[in-house]
Amino acid sequence: MNSDKVVVVVGAGPAGLMAAEVISQAGFKVKVFDAKPSAGRKFLLAGVGGMNITHSEPYPQFITRYYEKSQWLSQAISQFTADDIQAWMKSLGIDSFTGSSGRVFPQDMKAAPLLRNWLKNLRDNGVEFYPNHKLIALAPFNLHDQSNGYQLSFINKAEPTEITAQAVVLALGGASWPKLGSDGKWFNLLTDKGVSVHKLQSANCGFYCNWSTYLQNQFAGTQLKNIALHFTAPNGEKMVKKGECIVTKDGFEGSLFYAFSKYLRDAINQTGQANITIDLIPDLSFEQICQKLSNKKPKESFNKYLKRSIALNSLEIALLFEKFDKTQLHNIEYLARAIQQVPVTLTQVKPIEEAISSAGGVCQSSVNHNLMLTALPGIFCAGEMLDWEAPTGGYLLTACFATGRLAATGVCDFLSNNLNKQI
């Protein structure tokens, strides 16, 4: 064992734990520190609604889910793919299954059994855990020679603690759901040392818009099912996606909006708003809708007519009344067009604290090919704190695992090279 070399991993989420696994298997002594009293709190939360750990689609399609960072992340993900994740789970005694959407889950959909087995395995392999340790500072042990390692300062229940390490993996997460530990406060720790970090922003998040008081009072919390969202980005790119969402008192939440969140957020950043249209009946053509609307019964109320002829629900009818001139809606063609194109202006992105994940983080230009900070040789970064984003679908955890492994490989190479130099 290379036990004289201490590697500190800060952050006991999926990225940090994966780094600890690989480094400890290579024979180095690993100490994992985390600000929270226990490991993997966000990982456990991801398991509450059914943990989607990866996706089974073919790799060439899979890797495009990381948008413009696909090529960068392929360095990590091509070495730890969806198949590798399933094999790794199996090695920890957890079978997986693939849902009809191609999403991959642990057999019982939960994160807790996997995390439990994983932590046991790490402890059996000599990894030591230091909960309740919040990293507040880091500096080279010897200001003039970073090859001597780093001094890390933690706060442990109000008591300061100092640790030295020959190499460090930072896996501190993004800034969503900060009560689970990843609060993004590491930002200044790194920018102060000359590391470029892009601002952390909401990803897979809800959006604000202005509803009337009536709509807020009557329909906040109501689901819109089987609709399609149409959006034209500021660069002219047109996009459309079917799905479902929830109307909240101040906007929208839900998978349909999460899927478009990168584009909607970028448009709001660029132009101050994002204009979308919603097709309330995307499975029917304009002509089919007109046909169905053409049988209004005499004396039938307008609401009843819309419910009977075209199966609109009360929220969908309220949206039509909110967004269109009521008198014109009596014209069948106008009404059919309105049903297909309810316009909504999204005014703001919902706060990062409420988002599923973060965009932004440590820039690609600040790290080398195996995720070592070029400004701080010997310090590596992994997981959501790196500057990438992806939609939900298992892509987030996959990239966290894979970057954890790549950073770990970098640590092993770095320490072995240092050792060789000393010999």
Ligand X SMILES: Cc1cc2nc3c(=O)[nH]c(=O)nc-3n(C[C@H](O)[C@H](O)[C@H](O)COP(=O)(O)OP(=O)(O)OC[C@H]3O[C@@H](n4cnc5c(N)ncnc54)[C@H](O)[C@@H]3O)c2cc1C
Does 293 bind ligand X (CB under 6 A)? Our answer is no
Applying CB under 6 A, among 106, 140, 149, 181 the residue interacting with ligand X is 181
Concatenated DSSP letters of 283-318: TS-HHHHHHHHTTPPTT--HHHHHHHHH---HHHHH
Nearer to ligand X among residue 44 and residue 228 (C-beta): 44
Question: Counting contacts by CB under 6 A, is residue 408 touching ligand X?
Answer: no
Contact 58, 83 (CB under 8 A): no
Q: Measured between alpha carbons, how far is 250 from 253 in angstroms, rounded to an integer?
A: 10
Binding to ligand X, residues 31-70 (CB under 6 A): 33-36, 41-43, 45-46, 51-52
How many Cα atoms sit within 13 Å of 107 on the Cβ side? 8
Nearer to ligand X, 4 or 162 (CB): 162
Order the strands of the 96-98 sheet from edge to edge.
54-55, 103-106, 96-98
User: Are 399 and 158 a contacting pair, CB within 8 Å?
Assistant: no
Q: Tell me the per-residue interface mask from 350 to 369 with ligand X, x by CB under 6 A, - otherwise.
A: ------xx------------
Residue type, 375: A
Residue pair 339/307 in contact (Cβ under 8 Å)? The answer is no
Looking at 140, 391, 394, 410, which residue binds ligand X (CB under 6 A)?
Answer: 394
User: Tokens 């080279």 map to which residue?
Assistant: 140
The interface mask with ligand X, positions 209-248, x = CB under 6 A, is ----------------------------------------
Q: How many residues bind ligand X (CB under 6 A)?
A: 37
Task: Report the nearest approach of ligand X to the CB of residue 68 (Å).
Answer: 19
Residues 98-137, one symbol each (x = binds ligand X by CB under 6 A, - = not), give ------------------------------------xx--
Complex with ligand X: residue 174 or 230, whichever CB lies closer: 174
Instruction: Give min distance, CB of 73 to ligand X, in A.
Output: 13
264 counts as binding ligand X under rule CB under 6 A: no
- Give the H/E segment covering residue 3: strand 2-10
CA 215 to chain centre: 30
Pairing status of strand 54-55 against strand 145-156: unpaired
Q: Which amino acid is at 186?
A: W
Binding-site ranges for ligand X (CB under 6 A)? 10-16, 33-36, 41-43, 45-46, 51-52, 134-135, 171-173, 176-177, 181-182, 185-186, 356-357, 383-384, 394, 396-397, 400
